[in-house]
Amino acid sequence: MQFLIADTFTSALARLATDEQKAVKITVFDLQANAATPGHSLHKLDRARDKQFWSARVNADLRIIVHWSDSSLLLCYVDHHDKAYTWAERRRLEVHPRTGAAQLVEIREAVVEIPVHRVVDAPAPPASRYPEPARSLFAAVADAQLLEYGVPAEWIPEVRAATEDSIFTIVAALPSEAAEALIELATGGTPKPRPVVAADPFAHPDAQRRFRVMNNVDELARALDAPWDKWAVFLHPAQRELVERRFSGPARVAGSAGTGKTVVALHRAVALARANPSASVLLTTFSIPLARMLRQKLRALVGTDAALMDRITVEAMDEVAITLHEQAFGRPQMATSTMIATTLASITNELGGTAFSEAFIAREWHEVVDAWQLRTWEAYRDIPRLGRKQRLNEKQRESLWAIFSALQQRLDRSAMMTMPQVYAVVTAAIGTDITNPFDFAVVDEAQDVGVAQLRFLSALGGGRPDALFFAGDQGQRIYQLPFSWKSLGVDIRGRSQVLRVNYRTSHQIRGLADTLLGDELRDVDGIVEERRNTVSVFNGPEPRVEIVVDADAERTLIAGWLREQVSAGVQPGQLGVFVRTRFEVARAQAAVELAGLSVTTPQPGVEAETGKVVLMPMQLAKGLEFRAVVVAACDDEVLPLQSRLETAGEESDIDDILATERYLLYVACTRARDALLVTGVAPASEFLTDLQNRSDTR
């Protein structure tokens, strides 16, 4: 007999108190061992319309709802006695007549309109005063088409009557594949019909996103230990296809914030390790804090399988490169950015000065010369300066090269290295002095991978099938200039796919945040990421964008909003507050404390204190999510940051700074699941004006 668990069960389990969860888990393990044990007091629910719903007793009050057939036992729900029974009475497990997928379907309740009789009839208002009836979104869609999208047959009349005001209420009661298809259809997209599978209803790709077969006690333990992390158990079919697909060369998954790219990266790393028992897998990203977060999530996914965990290395790319350099050549002595800036200024002064600003020279060094590891005059003379619009003639380049070559000579004499140089040395040595330690590499937040890092990854991949897999969003690029991946041997054309279903952020917040970006993003190699067809699977309150007169008014506004969230049931640890830089932290902290709450400002990669509002700069927001978020102090000259604009050496620098500042705000806003408040003091950031205009047109 199959033993299965539904996502509705894990969600319900997460809502119970800690001691209640422990009691439920004990009962679940007993059910898996022997469902017929008398102590469970299993009995059929006579009032349920699905006659295979049974109740299992946890204690005097808690009940587990199971669906029990000759071939399977499915954990469906858990709650206190009356609530659990009510849930079961309103649902049934069925096989969709068109797709063949198993679905837990909420039974439609008949709605009876009661006429209201007037004592005195009032004169009818003019015809022009009657509001236009709400337009039905799916009136023209055939029943057969709705069935192909996975809509349960009994819900077709309700779906046909759906309007813009009622659609999210309706889709909340539908299976997820039907909900996603209807939202996409309502927003102008064309959903794909669901696949038809005639065999096991639980093996259908749509069913696997909500039901999971528990093959052993370890799998069940992982599913129960972190029921709030449903990504560790259930996957969307588009995610599963990318996890399991074999690629002939480098591949990439893209998509806006909240579409599950990191989930795909984690599952793919595990899938590669399991499918290749002797292989070593690298799961990596561009920053150490993000690598730490990946390691924590990987432990949740792998559970007690220590042997599998040992074959997956989770480290930031810089850590990997330095380790390999140390093993082959010794520990590199790293030159700091301050040291580089000081030396560049000294050399420029010694050479009699230059027509170029210090900011321009520094960016030219970091983004062109050092990034591409140009070690000769000819290499610098001939390189296309992608992303740098200011043209340099040969004489200008020659004067700049005198500065850069002198810097390289001084670094060499002192045995100091930059990080791109470490990558260059290690990359050149792979296959000779360095044996490639990895069979596969999976890279998260790939939009912020630099030139030297990509060359290194290309060498690790060696052109082998499945060797390189990237997950990233161009709309979250905040650290790197765009460059051609193809020119460095990483050609993902034809192997790049965009995820379009947003699980983390409400429809309203996602729509507002998307205002900061275009409908599509195109990389240097011409690959286009379409963003307009992304859908969010749940509804929420409209986000607020407020420009106030002064910091006192902002503090009062934020404090009141935070109190409202807590009153609505949001725990302090589920509240995030972001500012542009550390200089605005005190201003935001005063608002949190006015609300009667405490703040924690965790270091990157360190778990936040429980029970406190998380407060940090925007650039540390990646990888985090909260039920409610405040993005504060978005003033003019703070966002975009004036000090960054003042260092711009050319027009392209300004364009890129403005773009990455927008991306930063996008990242901060999309950390919110349900509620978002964005504030600034007049004159506020120009970005807030864009957001307010978007709000006004909805």
Q: What is the pLDDT of residue 649?
A: 57
Strand partners, 54: 44, 66
Extended strands (E) in 88-156 = 91-95, 102-106
Outline where 68-175 has alpha helix (H): 81-89, 143-148, 156-160, 167-171
**Domain covering 541-696: architecture:** 3-Layer(aba) Sandwich (3.40)
- CA separation, residue 531 to residues 252, 255, 515 (Å): 16, 7, 11
Q: What is the pLDDT of residue 39?
A: 59
Q: Which of the two residues, 426 and 384, has the higher pLDDT score?
A: 426
In this structure, of 16-20, 64-68, 111-115, the range with the lowest mean pLDDT score is: 111-115
Q: What is the pLDDT of residue 111?
A: 38
Q: How confident is the model at residue 116 (pLDDT cuts 50, 70, 90)?
A: very low
Q: How confident is the model at residue 130 (pLDDT cuts 50, 70, 90)?
A: very low
Most confident of 313-322, 363-372, 392-401, 530-539: 313-322
Q: Is the pTM of this model over 0.95?
A: no
Q: What is the pLDDT of residue 113?
A: 39
**Fold equal for 235-326+438-529 and 541-696:** yes
Q: What is the pLDDT of residue 228?
A: 46
Residue pair 196/100 in contact by the 8 Å Cβ criterion: yes
The type of residue at 184 is: E
* Whole-angstrom distance, CA of residue 476 vs CA of residue 555: 28
State the average pLDDT over residues 165-184: 89
36 burial level (CB within 10 Å; 0-12, 13-18, 19+): exposed
Q: Which of the two residues, 481 and 619, has the higher pLDDT score?
A: 619
* Whole-angstrom distance, CA of residue 616 vs CA of residue 601: 6
Q: What is the pLDDT of residue 128?
A: 47
Sheet containing strand 544-548, edge to edge, reads 544-548, 672-681, 626-631, 575-579, 613-617, 599-600
Answer yes or no: is pLDDT of 234 > 80.
no
Domain map of the chain by residue range? 2-101+199-225, 235-326+438-529, 336-417, 541-696
If you average pLDDT over every residue of the chain, what do you get? 87
Q: How confident is the model at residue 67 (pLDDT cuts 50, 70, 90)?
A: very high
Per-residue pLDDT of 673-694, as tens digits, reads 999 999 999 999 999 988 887 6
Answer yes or no: is pLDDT of 224 > 90.
no
Q: What is the pLDDT of residue 6?
A: 92
Q: Which of the two residues, 112 and 305, has the higher pLDDT score?
A: 305
Please, which residues have CB within 8 angstroms of residue 246's CB and are 6 or more apart in sequence?
465, 466
Torsion angle, alpha carbons of 225, 229, 233, 238, to 10: -170
Q: What is the pLDDT of residue 419?
A: 97
Residue pair 204/99 in contact by the 8 Å Cβ criterion: yes
Unique residue bearing structure tokens 């005059």:
377
- pLDDT cut 70: percent of the chain above it: 90
Answer yes or no: is pLDDT of 411 > 70.
yes
Answer yes or no: is pLDDT of 328 > 90.
yes
Per-residue pLDDT of 588-606, as tens digits, reads 999 999 999 999 988 765 6
Q: What is the pLDDT of residue 453?
A: 96
Residue pair 409/344 in contact by the 8 Å Cβ criterion: no
Q: What is the pLDDT of residue 195?
A: 85
State the average pLDDT over residues 100-110: 85
Answer yes or no: is pLDDT of 339 > 60.
yes
State the average pLDDT over residues 522-529: 78
Per-residue pLDDT of 252-261, as tens digits, reads 999 888 888 9
Answer yes or no: is pLDDT of 504 > 50.
yes
Q: What is the pLDDT of residue 392?
A: 77
**Lookup: tokens for 547:** 């420009």
Q: How confident is the model at residue 216 (pLDDT cuts 50, 70, 90)?
A: confident
Q: What is the pLDDT of residue 115?
A: 41
State the average pLDDT over residues 288-300: 89
Unique residue bearing structure tokens 């004159």:
683
Answer yes or no: is pLDDT of 129 > 60.
no
DSSP code for 181:
H
Among left, alpha and beta (phi > 0; psi -120 to 50; other), residue 77 is beta
Q: Does CATH place domain 2-101+199-225 in 3.30.2310.20?
A: yes
* CATH of range 235-326+438-529; options 3.40.50.300, 3.90.850.10, 3.60.110.10, 3.30.70.141: 3.40.50.300
- CA separation, residue 368 to residues 137, 374, 471, 475, 489 (Å): 52, 8, 25, 23, 18
Answer yes or no: is pLDDT of 695 > 90.
no
